[in-house]
Amino acid sequence: MKGFCERAVASKYSSKSSTESTDRGPSSVCSDSGSRDSKHDKASLWSNFFASAFSIFETHSESSNTEKKEIHSRNNGWTEAVRKVVTGGSMRRIHERVLGSSRTGISSASDIWLLGVRYKVSQDEFSGDAATNNGLRAFEQDFSSRILMTYRKGFDAIGDSKYTSDVNWGCMLRSSQMLVAQALLFHRLGRSWRRPLHKPLDEQYIEILHHFGDSEGSAFSIHNLLQSGKAYDLAAGSWVGPYAMCRSWETLVRCKREGTAFDNQPLPMAVYIVSGDEDGERGGAPVVCIQDASRHCLEFSRGRVDWTPILLLVPLVLGLEKVNPRYIPSLWATFTFPQSLGIMGGKPGASTYIIGVQDEKALYLDPHEVQPAINIRRDDLEADTLSYHCNVIRHIPLDSIDPSLAIGFYCRDRDDFDDFCFRASKLADGSNGAPLFTVTETHNFPKPVNHSDVLDDSGGVQNDDSFVAPPISDADGSAHEDDWQLL
């Protein structure tokens, strides 16, 4: 929350104002209409308002210890009350609508990669390079068009539990919903789709949001995800890891496929969980097996066709307390793949959905805002979809993300999958022995690298020409930094 307050204050430098669609949400976050001076004055005025409002929560850090105690004793009660109002979701959305996109930390000197699309950006409004200025606007429009899933409250109780909200425990569920929602957007509307300025809205867009409502009647609600994930210890009120989350999606999609006609599948694509072995408990780098991908497509189509669109989910653990630095360049590079769906994981102990990178920064959507439960009807083309989008650009250092994560990719057809395999193989070849995953035609080659292959009897690392596996703890609990870790 402090980060958001800082962004609200720092966004004063922007001389652009937001435009507002009839859907009450900013589909286009920048406008060229009106004079620059007028826009700058208005933005500065509103920025000063928000800066003043948010600054009341920074006064304690600027005071002496004695003053802190005095202020705390006098004002703790009303400060907490005002904090809830000023930093809550409603005020945040007002801030977004008045000031537009918050770009704190976005560099004007380097490009941004957002789910496979490269943007040349510049923060200099008066730059002579129109392409870079347009690049920043295009990036903001793309970012704000990604579907946001957050905590919700007030929905029907989940199963036999008493939970009517997923606050404080459902962030991984919401992060996974965002990733799958982007896959559906790319499949049904294409990568170039942007949130429309006017109503009626796209039927396909509304149908996608309908599938993620907060009730058992919505195919991909957290109610149904938790039900499908029981075999992986998913339960209301409990946090879940990326591997179990991926397997739960696999189970849910299979259940929906079996009970639905082929032409009416809510997720019209095969799902392939790429892991080191069948149960994900051991192994070296996960292996994308082309033979397995083909089998998943054949099963999904019920034998009708040899290849279908396919969603690949790659759960990984790339360190103990933090990501091993050896994997950072490869993680960064996955966002340059045209098939990229980003990463579900993010902050340690607080899952987010990472959708882009710039320099050392990871750009993400945050599910930790609490909003009222919503269920959009599939025929409601006038629906209010504001709560499903955000144009506050948040970021964290890529090397500080939680090492437990899952990467997603969407391949539209066989040619797209072949292109993905080419890029993934090239990435693995240049990974200096620490690939995120590898690609093979069949299971017979290459041979997976196991823990026993890279450790000698004394627990040391052997000199071996094969790639090294992620960090695995030995018998006394220590970990070898350069090894691959348990999946």
pLDDT greater at residue 73 or residue 145: 145
pLDDT greater at residue 275 or residue 418: 418
Q: What is the average pLDDT value for the chain, to the nearest integer?
A: 76
In whole angstroms, what is the distance from residue 150 CA to residue 370 CA? 6
What pLDDT is attached to residue 473?
A: 34
In whole angstroms, what is the distance from residue 317 CA to residue 35 CA? 51
- Phi, psi at 426, each rounded to 5°: -65, -40
Pairing of strands 361-365, 350-358: antiparallel
What pLDDT is attached to residue 261?
A: 83
**What percentage of residues in the chain have a pLDDT greater than 70?**
65
**Which is nearest to 17 in space by CA: 90, 97, 91?**
97
State the catalytic residue, choosing from 40, 60, 368, 451.
368
Would you say residue 7 lies in a domain?
Answer: no
In whole angstroms, what is the distance from residue 266 CA to residue 207 CA? 9
State the catalytic residue, choosing from 366, 390, 421, 480.
366
Would you say residue 465 lies in a domain?
Answer: no
Helix (H) or strand (E) holding 181: helix 171-189
Would you say residue 47 lies in a domain?
Answer: no
**Which is nearest to 115 in space by CA: 148, 79, 142, 136?**
142
What pLDDT is attached to residue 232?
A: 94
Tokens representing 306 are 């040899």
Task: Give catalytic status of residue 30 as yes or no.
Answer: no
Task: Give catalytic status of residue 359 as yes or no.
Answer: no
DSSP code for 106: -
Would you say residue 455 lies in a domain?
Answer: no
What pLDDT is attached to residue 259?
A: 78
pLDDT above 60 for 271: yes
* Confidence category of residue 16, pLDDT binned at 50, 70, 90: very low
What pLDDT is attached to residue 54?
A: 40
What pLDDT is attached to residue 123?
A: 53
What pLDDT is attached to residue 460?
A: 38
Would you say residue 32 lies in a domain?
Answer: no
pLDDT above 90 for 455: no
Cα separations (Å) of 151 from 169, 171, 321, 333?
9, 7, 26, 30
Cα separations (Å) of 436 from 116, 193, 426?
18, 30, 12
Check whether the bond before 200 is cis (ω within 30° of 0): yes
Identity of residue 261 = A
Cα separations (Å) of 274 from 127, 203, 246, 415?
45, 32, 10, 19
Would you say residue 314 lies in a domain?
Answer: yes
DSSP string for 378-410: TT-TT---GGG---B-EEEEGGGS-SEEEEEEE
**Which is nearest to 25 in space by CA: 277, 390, 487, 357?**
390
Tokens representing 408 are 């997603």
Q: Are 309 and 349 in contact (CB under 8 A)?
A: no
DSSP code for 442: B
In whole angstroms, what is the distance from residue 471 CA to residue 487 CA? 10
In whole angstroms, what is the distance from residue 360 CA to residue 347 CA? 15
DSSP code for 231: G
Domains held by the chain: number: 1
What pLDDT is attached to residue 7?
A: 41
Listed in sequence order, the DSSP H helices in 191-337 are 203-211, 222-228, 242-258, 290-300, 328-334
- What average pLDDT does the segment 424-449 reach? 83
- What average pLDDT does the segment 4-25 reach? 37
Would you say residue 451 lies in a domain?
Answer: no
Would you say residue 242 lies in a domain?
Answer: yes
Tokens representing 34 are 């009106």
Who contacts 271 (Cβ-Cβ below 8 Å, separation ≥6)?
Answer: 249, 250, 253, 254, 296, 300, 310, 311, 313
What pLDDT is attached to residue 134?
A: 83
- What average pLDDT does the segment 439-456 reach? 53
pLDDT greater at residue 79 or residue 441: 441
Taking only the tens place, the pLDDT of each residue in 395-431 is 999 999 999 999 999 999 999 999 999 999 999 999 9
Domain that holds residue 117: 107-440
Identity of residue 55 = S
How much of the chain is helix, strand and coil, in % rounded to 5? 40, 15, 45
What pLDDT is attached to residue 347?
A: 83
Task: Give catalytic status of residue 171 as yes or no.
Answer: yes
In whole angstroms, what is the distance from residue 39 CA to residue 32 CA? 9
In whole angstroms, what is the distance from residue 333 CA to residue 113 CA? 9
Hey, how many other C-beta atoms are within 10 angstroms of the C-beta on 287? 21
Taking only the tens place, the pLDDT of each residue in 337-369 is 999 999 999 888 899 999 999 999 999 999 999
State the catalytic residue, choosing from 30, 171, 246, 297.
171
What pLDDT is attached to residue 50?
A: 43
In whole angstroms, what is the distance from residue 303 CA to residue 294 CA? 11
- What average pLDDT does the segment 5-18 reach? 38
What pLDDT is attached to residue 132?
A: 59
Q: Are 229 and 244 in contact (CB under 8 A)?
A: yes
- Global pTM reads 0.73
Return the minimum-mean-pLDDT range out of 99-108, 139-148, 166-175, 463-472: 463-472
Taking only the tens place, the pLDDT of each residue in 56-89 is 333 333 334 444 444 444 445 554 444 444 445 5
In whole angstroms, what is the distance from residue 396 CA to residue 131 CA? 27
